[in-house]
Amino acid sequence: MAIPNFNYLAPTTLKEALTMRVSHGAKSSIMAGGTDLLIKMAHRNHHPEYVIGLNCVADINYIRYNAAGNLAIGPMAKLSTIMDHPDIVSHFPALSHSSGVTATVQIRNMSTLIGNIVNASPSADNATPLLVLDASLVIMHEGGEREVPLHEFFLGFGNSVMKPTELIKEMILPMPGKNSGSSYQKISTRSKVDIAGVCVSAFLTLNDAGVITTARIALGSVAPKPIRVPQAEQVLEGQKPSIELFRKAAALSREEAKPISDMRASADYRKAMVEVLTIRALEASLLIATNKTH
Ligand SMILES: Cc1cc2nc3c(=O)[nH]c(=O)nc-3n(C[C@H](O)[C@H](O)[C@H](O)COP(=O)(O)OP(=O)(O)OC[C@H]3O[C@@H](n4cnc5c(N)ncnc54)[C@H](O)[C@@H]3O)c2cc1C
């Protein structure tokens, strides 16, 4: 299907990209890898008059530590770089796994982590890992910048708090403390190269006495947006890990899931799988947190 005509703008700095965004507002879209945007345009679901490409902007394809010691990921950092990056593999295993199972090699070589998130799809592979890793987004606007925690970013299907005159400057991942582990679990209709029918991520930190001090669980493809499950997280915190405890948290996750039935899975199957995947994600996170595997 042919893409309707549009004006392609090629800024060379993020500041210039922002000026273009401010002038054209809702008539514009930012393009990173284009693997979501161009498909929507071809299917006539979205018709921006101006496409602001980030390809010519220098030095935004980075993964580096910022002054606060947290990991900053630039808007052109590709999924294929993220999946193998040594710091992401060591400290953010849920994200190295999710980026490595997003789409195909060719798509991962083109597409960005930030594009996957701004798309605000409930089934985006990298959304639930980033929610449990407590990521935030730095959003540039005419008056400066604001940092938005990811759990406040998503509003609903394809909808976020980002305004049409804004753009994402970078993503920030706080460094997990010692004795921490995270895991991403996904089930899709086909074994590979498919959007998640249901997905779950978990993150655990334990103190030296083996008590869970921080627990986060996030669910994908079971609500109009990726969601955290505070009820299940509270059950885990302050307790020593055990299979009975994980089962309790998994049952609460199942209760909070409000899936629909579609071509990928029935609502009942999705609810059942939330329970299974929550236990798997917690067990895998615990193994990493206690250094039994990596
Ligand atoms: C064949 C195929 C298979 C796929 N499989 C999967 C899959 O298994 N799992 C999955 O999660 N996704 C999948 N996708 C979707 C897509 O590849 C990912 O969402 C990808 O990460 C998007 O990144 P991108 O850089 O290409 O984004 P783009 O298409 O460039 O942008 C996506 C959205 O983000 C906005 N945007 C991008 N960067 C910025 C920024 N800095 N500031 C403001 N707005 C911005 C764009 O305007 C657009 O709305 C698939 C796509 C295809 C074509």
Residues 293, 289: Cα–Cα separation, whole Å = 9
Strand order in the sheet with 7-9: 7-9, 50-53, 28-31
Domains of the chain: 7-53 (3.30.43.10), 63-173 (3.30.465.10), 180-289 (3.30.390.50)
Give the ligand 1 atom nearest the CA of 37. Answer: 29
Greater model confidence, 292 or 244 = 244
- Alpha-carbon radius of gyration of the chain: 19
Tokens of 269: 């199957």
- Tokens 């086909």 label which residue? 190
Average pLDDT of 105-114? 97
Please say if the pLDDT value at position 266 is more than 80. Answer: yes
Residues 160, 150: Cα–Cα separation, whole Å = 10
Average pLDDT of 168-174? 98
Q: Is 107 helix (H, G, I), strand (E, B) or coil?
A: helix
Å from CA of 111 to ligand 1 middle: 6
Question: Residue 111: CB within 6 Å of ligand 1?
Answer: yes
- pLDDT tens digit string along 195-219? 888 999 999 999 999 999 999 999 9
pLDDT value of residue 294:
45
- pLDDT tens digit string along 11-33? 999 999 999 999 999 999 999 99
Question: Residue 129: CB within 6 Å of ligand 1?
Answer: no
E runs forming strands in 179-280: 180-187, 198-206, 212-220, 227-228
Tell me the percentage of the chain whose pLDDT exceeds 70.
98
Å from CA of 121 to ligand 1 middle: 10
Of 79-88, 161-170, 190-199, 229-238, the range with the lowest mean pLDDT is 190-199
The amino acid that residue 49 corresponds to is E
Residue 26 gets which letter from DSSP?
A: G
Residues 276, 273: Cα–Cα separation, whole Å = 5
Q: Which of 252, 250, 244, 241 is nearest to 179 (CA)?
A: 241
Report angle CA 124, 93, 72 to the nearest 5 degrees: 75
Q: Is 53 helix (H, G, I), strand (E, B) or coil?
A: strand
Average pLDDT of 232-252? 98
pLDDT value of residue 35:
97
Question: Residue 112: CB within 6 Å of ligand 1?
Answer: yes
Question: Residue 20: CB within 6 Å of ligand 1?
Answer: no
Q: Is 269 helix (H, G, I), strand (E, B) or coil?
A: helix
Q: Is 200 exposed, middle or buried (0-12, 13-18, 19+ CB in 10 A)?
A: buried
> How, if at all, do strands 50-53 and 28-31 pair?
parallel
Å from CA of 290 to ligand 1 middle: 34
Q: Whose CA is nearest to atom 2 of ligand 1?
A: 103
Question: Residue 166: CB within 6 Å of ligand 1?
Answer: no
Please say if the pLDDT value at position 189 is more than 80. Answer: no
Ligand 1 binding pocket mutation candidate from 16, 39, 116 (most atoms within 8 A of CB): 116
Question: Residue 42: CB within 6 Å of ligand 1?
Answer: no
Question: To the nearest 10°, the Cα dihedral for 118, 111, 53, 152?
Answer: 10
Please say if the pLDDT value at position 293 is more than 70. Answer: no
Average pLDDT of 188-200? 80
Residues 275, 123: Cα–Cα separation, whole Å = 17
Question: Residue 236: CB within 6 Å of ligand 1?
Answer: no
Mean model confidence pLDDT for the chain: 95
- Write down the pTM of the prediction: 0.97
Band (pLDDT 50/70/90 cuts) for residue 192 is: low
